Structure 1
Amino acid sequence: MPTQGARCFLMVRARAWMCALPLEEVEETMRPLPVRPVASAPVFVRGVSVVRGQSAPVVSLAALLDGEGAAGSGDTARFVSLKATGGRVALEVDAVLGLRWLDEATLGDVPPLLRASAHGHLDYLGALDGQLMAVLDAAHLVPPDVWARLEQPSGKASA
């Protein structure tokens, strides 16, 4: 049962990063869809896909965080559709790990996701969609010790 002051997050993995996305910004998770590349797109934008009849940019969370280009090999496990200005954005992740409730005290110790993106991507991201930037700014990286606590039935790390 969630405690007062807790928020629900969708937990995802992108390469070695565990990330918590605010559930209120998530529309759905889905299998990857075909992606059409877009010329001159930033390295973290894989291209465009058609999601529920609408074109949606596909953003590689791993490429956003590490600054390297998206692999584009088709190995992606899931897309997470996020609400965005005038439509949606498909966030490409390696795994969807489920829902977890995190309280405000835990979030104070967990770094914001966008702080990890130190590759000049924030300027591009802000120009593409300010609302997407706000969603990702509310998302958090989850360190291994916090993830271990979340995986324990008691919510405490094992000794």
Structure 2
Amino acid sequence: MDALVFRAGSLFCAFPLTEVIETMRPLATRPLAGTPHYVRGLTILRGEPAPVIDMTRLLTGVTGEIERYIAVRAGRGPVACATGPVLGVQAVHATPPEGPSTMFTGASRSLVAAVGRFGTEPLLVLRSIRTVPEEVWQAAAEETGATAGAAA
């Protein structure tokens, strides 16, 4: 499959191109209270509010340097994935994480679709961020409503 490869901290990761909308410089992001630690906040993507997910925090638990946003399709709207450098489009050969890769559990199992390699490094092929928790979408809707009310 063709995929967009990027860094998330020390990890090499990729999204299938069919799930990618666009890449961009990081946009202004407003923090959202009551969301998981990996949610950086809310931004506006082409006129629509979108949660911003810190991919390094989501995958490793630590904050990494943010260089790019990758907009991906999600269940209720677009999601901006805050990443390190985007390394380009690559043909990726990967297999589902089975056997020795049983280390994937919980959220990581629902997020990691396959494991491949990028040169001599492991590469995590990620599923679309359809697993954004309901509380994030609710917080985004509340923040958007509060902003619209303040503007009126």
Question: Same fold per TM (> 0.5)?
Answer: yes
Tell me whether 1:30 sits opposite 2:20 in the alignment. Answer: no
Measured on the aligned residues, the alpha-carbon RMSD in Å equals: 2.8
> 1:45 pairs with 33, 36, 39, which one?
39
Alignment length (residue pairs)? 119
Structure 2 runs not aligned, ≥5 long? 123-152
Counterpart of 2:69 in structure 1 is: 79
Deviations 1:39-82 (A, max 9, x none): 021011000001110100000110001123x46xxx52100000
Give deviations 1:8-52, integer Å, cap 9, x for gaps: 010000111000211100000001001100002101100000111
TM-score, length-normalised on structure 2?
0.66
Identity among equivalent positions (%) equals: 36
The structure richer in strand per residue is: 2
2:76 partner amino acid: G
Measured in 2, the distance between the counterparts of 1:10 and 1:54 equals 23
Specify which of 15, 19, 39 is matched with residue 13 of structure 2: 19
Check if 1:137 corresponds to 2:112.
yes
Find the aligned partners of 1:96 and 1:53 in 2 and give their Cα distance.
24
Distance in 2 between residues matched to 1:50 and 1:41, nearest whole Å: 18
* Amino acid across the alignment from 1:77: E
When residues 100 and 9 of structure 1 are mapped into structure 2, their CA distance, relative to the original with a 3 A threshold, is: same
Which residue of the partner structure matches residue 57 of structure 2? Answer: 63
Distance (whole Å) between structure 1 residues aligned to residue 116 and residue 38 of structure 2: 17
Change (3 A) 1:31 1:116: farther
Instruction: Give the 4+ runs in structure 1 shifted more than 2 A.
Output: 115-118, 136-144
